[in-house]
Amino acid sequence: MKHVVLASTSTLYGDTYLAYLQPVMKHLFAGIREIVFIPYARPGGISHDDYTAKAAAAFAPLGITVRGLHTFDDPAAAIRNAEGFFTGGGNTFLLVKVLLENSLMSVLKETVESGRPYMGCSAGSNIGGISMQTTNDMPIVYPPGFQTMGLVPFNLNPHYLDPVPDLPHMGETRETRIREFHTQHTTPVVGLREGSWIHLKGENITLEGPLTARIFEAGKEPYEIPAGSSLAQLG
């Protein structure tokens, strides 16, 4: 049975890394001794080793050790043998490029769908959707493709921001960009605000956290759903 958490962000404003997700992590990774961390998104250019150390510090209070995928001689075998996974945020283009070029995306998908727990934040959540095409990230590298794991039957837009009234210019809004996506694709998109996450267990998919999410479906006006709502109907 699939057990997956896809969070908008790793860190709430003024908080420490993964602090707000600690109760979620405790439940998701219950009984697990070690997880594999996928550090390839490298936020701010952080090294794989430093990023893994940051994740390890956040999991230590739960008694869970963390090993970076980059440290294995055979990363595909490491994925197949892992007890669970965490993929951190950063640049989704870079993350997807590394996973696809090393034939790891399909291995990760297969392993998570077999029942190994998975948590993603930001870029790590983007790869839980059907494609990475609704990311906010700059295309700093060119991945071989945009398709991701499809653990949920829609795309995500983590860090979703609402327009700020009376602000002279904040660039094109997230809603504008998602509407542009829907001129070319019919995949639903969940605008996931900071502090919210998607919980997938078996066939149940729910919005969790304190905030509503904005739902975009091709040919429809966007609408809001409250926390606790099912997202299974988007499939």
pLDDT of residue 177: 96
Strands, sheet with 85-87, edge to edge from the N-terminal-most edge strand = 65-68, 34-38, 85-87, 118-121, 3-7, 197-201, 204-208
Q: Is 137 a catalytic residue?
A: yes
**Ordered mean pLDDT values, 10 residues apiece, the chain (235 residues):** 97 95 98 98 98 98 98 98 98 98 98 98 98 98 98 98 79 92 98 98 96 98 98 91
Residue 62 DSSP one-character state: G
CATH code, domain carrying 218: 3.40.50.880
pLDDT at 131: 98
Name the active-site residue from 122, 125, 131, 196: 122
* Residue 185 is a catalytic residue: no
Structural domains of the chain, count: 1
Check residue 235 and give its pLDDT.
78
pLDDT of residue 64: 98
The token pair at 7 is 């969070």
8 A C-beta contact, residue 212 and residue 225: yes
* Backbone phi and psi for residue 216, each to the nearest 5 degrees, phi listed first: -120, 125
Domain that holds residue 103: 3-234
pLDDT for residue 170 = 66
Q: What is the secondary structure of 13-28 as a DSSP string? A: TTS-TTGGGHHHHHHH
| The one catalytic residue among 131, 137, 196, 199 | 137
